[in-house]
Amino acid sequence: MSQNPDTWLTRFHRLGSPPSFYRLAGILMPFIGIICIALFASGLFGGLVLAPADYQQGESYRIIYIHVPSAWMSMFVYALLATASAISLIWRMKLAEAVARASAPVGAAYTFLALVTGSLWGKPMWGTWWVWDARLTSELILLFLYLGYMALVAAIDDRRSASRAGAVLAIVGVVNLPIIHFSVEWWNTLHQGPTVTKFDQPSIAISMLIPLLLMAGAFKFHYLYTMLARVRVEILDSERRTAWVNTLVTSKAS
């Protein structure tokens, strides 16, 4: 081994240590917040003002700019929750546990938004707020998976065994993700098929697609911001008896 301790590997290791992650997240968050606000501003302006009305659905289709990003994020965050859970089970990494715990309520919020905005879009277009079809039902199950994870983690007092129990639940629930994605192809459903993720030929006009992608980016950065903020709280809470937290807190209080 070399004498120099600052190889990329040790740097990576240090990043996973709570104090340096706490510090790095604190530095990055303002930039993430600014990018998020810029994406929201441009996406909302493009989607609500610049983009034309849909030739079939009129102005009601504009719900797409919040419905589709919410639905994408509901699945993306779940995939991340399961990945962080797997890492925490295999390597007992505290940081992965914190990321998983921090992600669950945010993912639940996106799932809730996908369901409610979908309902508000479904009423004028389909004539009903809700149908028990494959896409809607599997998305509702996703919400219950998030809530189940949160309830399970909150119910167990010991922090680490709570994370471990939650991790198993999160990993088992992954089977729901392909069901949500392919539900519109496997079963007959009121829900329209994919319009954007058919990469060969997206069936959406470019003036509608660009704001949608901007909004999707805005939601990504929103998740990143609030997840980092939540991980910082988790770190402070679990490290409250350490010297570095005490110096940090007393220097801030004085």
Partner 1 sequence: MIEFFQMGGYAIYVWPAYALTALTLAVSVIAPIRRRKRLVREISAIAVQKERSRSE
Provide the binding-site residues for partner 1, judged by CB under 8 A.
48-49, 53, 58-60, 62-63, 66-67, 70, 102, 105-106, 109, 112-113, 116-117, 120-121, 123-124, 222, 225-226, 229-230, 232-233, 236-237, 240, 245-246, 249-250, 252-253
| Rounded Cα–Cα distance for residues 164 and 189 (Å) | 37
Any bridge partners for residue 58, and if so which?
Answer: 54
Q: What's the closest the beta carbon of residue 7 comes to partner 1, in angstroms? A: 33
Cβ neighbourhood burial of 57 (10 Å; 0-12, 13-18, 19+):
middle
Q: Which is nearer to partner 1, 5 or 52 (CB)?
A: 52
Look up residue 31 and give its two tokens: 């930039």
Q: What's the closest the beta carbon of residue 253 comes to partner 1, in angstroms? A: 4
DSSP letter for 107, please.
Answer: H
Bin 7: left if φ > 0, else alpha if -120 < ψ < 50, else beta.
beta
Of 28, 6, 44, nearest to 221 by C-alpha is 28
Cβ neighbourhood burial of 34 (10 Å; 0-12, 13-18, 19+):
exposed
Q: What's the closest the beta carbon of residue 156 comes to partner 1, in angstroms? A: 20
DSSP letter for 85, please.
Answer: H
| Rounded Cα–Cα distance for residues 233 and 253 (Å) | 17
DSSP letter for 128, please.
Answer: -
Q: Which is nearer to partner 1, 66 or 136 (CB)?
A: 66
Q: What's the closest the beta carbon of residue 62 comes to partner 1, in angstroms? A: 6
Q: Which is nearer to partner 1, 4 or 250 (CB)?
A: 250
Q: Which is nearer to partner 1, 21 or 121 (CB)?
A: 121
Q: What's the closest the beta carbon of residue 250 comes to partner 1, in angstroms? A: 5
Q: Which is nearer to partner 1, 29 or 184 (CB)?
A: 29
Q: Which is nearer to partner 1, 36 or 177 (CB)?
A: 36
Q: What's the closest the beta carbon of residue 132 comes to partner 1, in angstroms? A: 21
Residue corresponding to tokens 């610049």: 50
| Rounded Cα–Cα distance for residues 120 and 174 (Å) | 27
